[in-house]
Amino acid sequence: MKLKILAFGLALGILWGLGALVLGILAIFGYGLTWVAVLSSVYIGYGATILGSLVGALWAFVDAFVGGVLFAWLYNKLSRS
């Protein structure tokens, strides 16, 4: 079975981006501040604000999309029989 490379990347990017967005919004109310601090060391501009959450969600989407595309491509290459 082959993975659809772009679909896999989009699915991963959307899920991780939404997760980062929700985490950033929850951090405004005091939940998950440690996780936001960790992710803000990787995603420039990410923080416990609405704008910071949107910036982090964009970074997370791009990060997971690229990782998902690379993963699916490598999986397809290695699974050939």
Quote the number of domains for the chain: 1
The tens-digit pLDDT sequence of the chain (81 residues) is 899 999 999 999 999 999 999 999 999 999 999 999 999 999 999 999 999 999 999 999 999 999 999 999 999 999 986
Owning domain of residue 10: 5-78
Q: What is the pLDDT of residues 36-58, one digit of tens each?
A: 999 999 999 999 999 999 999 99
The whole-model pTM stands at 0.92
The Cβ of residue 5 has, within 10 Å, a number of other Cβ atoms equal to 17
- 10-25 as b/e, with b when 16 or more CB fall inside 10 Å? bebbbebbebbbebbb
